[in-house]
Amino acid sequence: MNVKVIVKGQAKGSLLVAKNPLNFLGGIDKKTGVVHDKNHDLFGKSIGDKILVFPYGIGSSVGAYTIYSLKYNHCAPLAMICLKADLTTASGCAISNIPLVVASKNDYDSLQEDKEVVLDAIKGQIS
Amino acid sequence: MELTKEEESALDGKQGETLALAYRTLVAIGEASDSDRLIPIEWAHLSGVNYNTIGDAGRDFLSHLSQDAKFKVKTTVNPMGFDFDSVTRYNLDDNFIENQRSIKNSYEKMGAIPSYSCIPYEIFDVPKQGTQVSFAESNAAIYANSFSGLVTNKEGAFSALASALTGKSPCSDLRDDKTRKPNLTIRMKVESPDELTYGMLGYFAGKVAGSSVALSGVNGLDRRSCKSLCAGMGTSGACGMFTFGEEEGEKIDFDKKEMQKIHDELNTSESGDLITLGSPQLGLDEIGDLAAMLKGRSFKKRCMIFCPSAIKGQMLDLGYRKEIEHAGGEFLFDCCTCLSPLVDNKEVDSVTTNSVKGAYYLRTSNKVDVNLKSLKKIVEEETK
């Protein structure tokens, strides 16, 4: 599928799919990458070393620094795929050098948990 | 986005990781806001300076970045959490002080002018009309667009930081003349307005307007009211500028009823344990007015007054500082009402202020109740 590139890069790995939007500042442990928001469908799971699929980010723009901390603590996602690019996620991925793309609604809905994919966020393709 | 060859090479890391990071940020924000190119800016004003707002993760990021990053254009910075010169007078956590010091050092190492002020438009010379700047502080962005003749988006902490490092910004939103033209007019219908009324008008406008709004029935604003209007607008929404007079398109009224609704939302107490003045920080004009209003009077309770260091010398020379301190006013420099750890809910339950922006953040961040009233009323009721 073709996607819009927000932050360039390449990644290969399995998908972790969230139904709910993510609040990086309040919802994720920046030292471990584990989602600790009890109301989130990824509660208890680690987002580290996965290609993270979620609709969009919510909450304070300081959440961008949390993404940076995840990377610095070696527990950041390999890449992120969103339905829409919010400024917090875009800034956070940019300062952390994590590839970020936006997929169309149909393509986004077809992304399945655990599927192995190759994300080319230079050409704008997922295969 | 279309990038020049030079921008492309910086993005690809050929000029080092710091510039690659800055260009990735500009491109990411540009792509997310449908911009087609980057344009030069001459001045960046950064938010994300107070340790209370950026925390450990922000402190670490800036510390890593400052190891080899240098700002490329004039860069000024927002207030910190407290005033280093007077911090020993306050019972502040050592940990907070050290974290704030680290952030201060990082910004200064990268070449920031140590302004620690949310009113850069008042303490620096303003460049010529139409100059593109990149201001992250919301009241300053709105003031720059609406009064100073400058052009900026209501930038975020990261877009302004990336602008400081590159001297560029995505050309989107308010950098496009079409977006600057308002399609909504708010008709000011409240009589005998003071600065608090204008703060509430701004807060109302921020809620209902898009990127730009027209205000009709507003004239003869003094500096205090201008700043209050900008700060109120910046607090409640995404609107980044206003014009005066009626425009084509939708029109709505700001009347007594609308004003009362906003007052009820922000005012949660009939009195305050302490008074704070300055959100945005008070400039020299306002300090002069305050000194005149306080002549021969004294505060019945503690009153904290937030100012930029830039005016310290002048207010002393002009005798304002002596007059205000004589009345019991307590000056704090380099910090602001918003998110200051100096207003602690373990010590006070409620705060009196004339600032709509201050009221919002005192309640949501400092978690204290707010008693909102105009400066004139504060002087009448809280001094003897």
Cα(B252)–Cα(B188) distance, integer angstroms: 9
Nearest by CB: B28 against A6, A68, A69: A6
Report the catalytic residues of A: 60
Nearest by CB: B157 against A5, A61, A68: A61
First-to-last C-alpha distance (Å) of chain A? 7
- Which residue in chain A is spatially nearest to B55 when comparing CA positions? A62
Beta-carbon separation of B158 and A72 below 8 A: no
Q: Is the CA virtual torsion B237, B283, B88, B342 positive or negative?
A: negative
For the segment A7-23, the average pLDDT, to the nearest whole number, is: 96
Superfamily of domain A4-126: Phosphohistidine domain (3.50.30.10)
Q: B158: which chain A residues are within 8 Å (Cβ-Cβ)?
A: 61, 64, 87, 91, 94-95
pLDDT for the residue numbered A25: 84
Instruction: State ipTM.
Output: 0.90
For the segment B250-254, the average pLDDT, to the nearest whole number, is: 98
- Which residue in chain A is spatially nearest to B62 when comparing CA positions? A65
Nearest by CB: B28 against A61, A65, A94: A94
CB pairs under 8 A between A and B: 78
User: Which residues 1-40 of B have a C-beta within 8 angstroms of A?
Assistant: 11, 20-21, 24-25, 27-29, 31-33
CB B269 within 8 A of CB B369: yes
- Tell me the CATH class for B5-176: alpha beta
Q: What is the pLDDT of residues A78-124, one digit of tens each?
A: 999 999 999 999 999 999 999 999 999 999 999 999 999 999 999 99
| Residue A62: band (very low, low, confident or very high) from pLDDT cuts 50, 70, 90 | confident
Which residues of chain B form CATH 3.30.499.10? 5-176, 267-382
Please say if the pLDDT value at position B60 is more than 90: yes
- Which residue in chain B is spatially nearest to A29 when comparing CA positions? B57
- Of all residues in chain B, the percent with pLDDT exceeding 90 is 94
Question: Domain B267-382 adopts which CATH fold?
Answer: Aconitase; domain 3 (3.30.499)
Please say if the pLDDT value at position B355 is more than 90: yes
Beta-carbon separation of A91 and B25 below 8 A: yes
What's the angle, vertex CA B159, arms to CA B282 and CA B63, rounded to 5?
Answer: 85
User: Which residues 108-147 of B have a C-beta within 8 angstroms of A?
Assistant: none
Q: What is the pLDDT of residues A28-58, one digit of tens each?
A: 999 999 999 998 999 999 999 999 999 999 8
Cα(A104)–Cα(B358) distance, integer angstroms: 41
Distances (CA, A) of A53 to A20, A97, A114, B380: 10, 17, 11, 58
Question: B39 - beta bridge partners?
Answer: B169
